[in-house]
Amino acid sequence: MRPGKPFEGETDIDDRYGDLDSRTDSDIPEIPPSSDRTPEILKRALSGLSSRWKNWWIRGILTLTMISLFFLIIYMGSFMLMLLVLSIQVKCFHEIITIGYRVYRSYDLPWFRTLSWYFLLCVNYFFYGETVADYFATFVQREEQLQFLIRYHRFISFALYLAGFCMFVLSLVKKHYRLQFYMFAWTHVTLLITVTQSHLVIQNLFEGMIWFLVPISSVICNDITAYLFGFFFGRTPLIKVMEK
C-alpha cells in the first residue's frame, strides 16, 4: 500500500457516510411557525395597549398565576412537589427526544422512541429504588416482596438495562449504524441531563423542604428581576445582539 492511498473499502464507507449526512440535512422537517396562544379574554382586555405593554401585562398575569399555583402545590406537601418534579422530568425528556426523533424517523428505523422511554423507566427505577431503600427502610422491612426487590435492586436494574441494550443491538440496520449509535448516545445524554437533576432535587426534598425552596426561589427571582430590568432599562434586546 502506497502512503496516502486509502484502504480498500474506505472510499465506499466515506461515500455511505456522506450520503447519510446529506440525507439528514435535507430530510429534517421544517419547524412550524409559532402561533399566538394568548387567551381571548386577555386579548380583548389589552387590545388598546401597544405590543410592548401588552406583552408586559400578559407576562405579569401569567407569572402571578404560576406562582400562585406553585404556592398551592407547596401547601399540599412534599409528595405533590415530587410529582411536580417527575412531571417536569418526563416533559423535558419528551421535548429533547422529539428533537432527535425528527431526524431519526426520516429513515424509517425501528424502536427509537420505544427504547428511549424504556431506558427512562430503567434509570428511574434504579435511582428511586435506591431512594426507597434509604428513606423508607422501616416500611420495606414489613413487606416481603419489597425486601426481595430491594435486596436485588442493582442486579434487577442492570438486567433491565442489559435487556434494553440487547433490543438496541437487534434494531440495528445496515448502512445506518453511525446514525443509530448517535441517537443511542443522544438518549443517554438526555437521561443524564433530566433524570440526574430531578433525582437530586427530590433528594433535597427528603432532606428538608427548605433545600428545595431556596434554590427554586433564587431562580424565579433572578428571572423576574432580569426581565424587569431589561424592560425598563434595557435598550437592545439580546436576540438582536445574537443575530449580529
Whether the pLDDT of residue 28 is over 50: the answer is no
CA 57 to mean position of chain CA atoms: 29
Give burial (CB, 10 Å; 0-12/13-18/19+) of 74: middle
Whether the pLDDT of residue 176 is over 80: the answer is yes
Predicted pLDDT of residue 25 = 44
CA angle 194, 197, 198 (to 5 degrees): 80
Provide the sign of the torsion angle of the four alpha carbons 71, 73, 79, 85, taken in this order.
negative
Predicted pLDDT of residue 32 = 55
Whether the pLDDT of residue 68 is over 80: the answer is yes
Would you state the cell numbers that stand for residue 54, as one nine-digit string?
Answer: 401588552
Q: Residue 193: count other Cβ atoms within 10 Å of its Cβ.
A: 14
Predicted pLDDT of residue 101 = 82
Least confident segment among 36-40, 192-196, 232-236:
36-40
Count Cα atoms within 13 angstroms, Cβ side, for 110. Answer: 8
CA 169 to mean position of chain CA atoms: 24
Question: How many whole angstroms separate alpha carbon 156 and alpha carbon 159?
Answer: 5
166 against 41, higher pLDDT:
166
Question: How many whole angstroms separate alpha carbon 157 and alpha carbon 162?
Answer: 9
Indicate left, alpha or beta for 181 from its phi (over 0: left) and psi (-120 to 50: alpha): alpha
Q: Which residue has the cell 455511505?
A: 16
Domain coordinates of the chain in residue numbers? 48-233
- Please, are residues 169 and 102 in contact by the beta-carbon 8 Å criterion? no
CA 102 to mean position of chain CA atoms: 15
Predicted pLDDT of residue 227 = 87
User: Which among 202, 200, 198, 195 has a CA at the least distance from the CA of 120?
Assistant: 195
Q: Residue 85: count other Cβ atoms within 10 Å of its Cβ.
A: 19
Q: Residue 91: count other Cβ atoms within 10 Å of its Cβ.
A: 11
Predicted pLDDT of residue 241 = 65
Predicted pLDDT of residue 16 = 44
The pLDDT of 1-28, averaged and rounded, is: 46
